């Protein structure tokens, strides 16, 4: 994480990524907590979690609530199309 933030401060932006590290959008201690509990470091990995895990994350980390709600809504839409 330190290297990433040093690069950002120097104006180096890593292009071509369609993903974000969780520590980019939530406090570092919360991103460490998610890594320790669920083994995830990036937003794209949230889709690997089950609905119960996502709801627990949403309740404990309000900054992720809207992102998780959107993910859950998209998941339900995909199931409805099957």
pLDDT per residue over 13-70, tens digit each?
A: 665 455 788 988 899 999 999 999 999 998 889 989 999 999 999 999 998 998 899 8
Instruction: Say if 52 falls within a structural domain.
Output: yes
Q: Give the number of domains in the chain.
A: 1
Instruction: Say if 28 falls within a structural domain.
Output: yes
Instruction: Say if 1 falls within a structural domain.
Output: no
Instruction: Say if 7 falls within a structural domain.
Output: no
Instruction: Say if 6 falls within a structural domain.
Output: no
End-to-end, the C-alpha distance of the chain in Å comes to: 39
Instruction: Say if 10 falls within a structural domain.
Output: no
Q: Whole-model pTM?
A: 0.67
What pLDDT, on a 0 to 100 scale, did the predictor assign at position 79?
55
Q: Which domain holds residue 48?
A: 17-81
Instruction: Say if 4 falls within a structural domain.
Output: no
pLDDT at 5 over 90: no
Kindly write down the DSSP assignment for every residue of 27-50, as one continuous string: -HHHHHHHHHHH---BGGGGGGS-
The confidence band for 7, taking pLDDT boundaries of 50, 70 and 90, is confident
């Amino acid at each position: 994480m330190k290297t990433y933030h040093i690069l950002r401060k120097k104006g180096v932006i890593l292009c071509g990524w369609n993903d974000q590290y969780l520590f980019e959008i939530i406090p570092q201690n919360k991103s460490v907590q998610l890594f320790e509990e669920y083994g995830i470091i990036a937003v794209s990995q949230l889709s690997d979690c089950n609905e119960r895990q996502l709801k627990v994350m949403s309740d404990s980390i309000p900054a992720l609530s809207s992102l998780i709600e959107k993910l859950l809504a998209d998941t339900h839409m995909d199931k409805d199309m099957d």
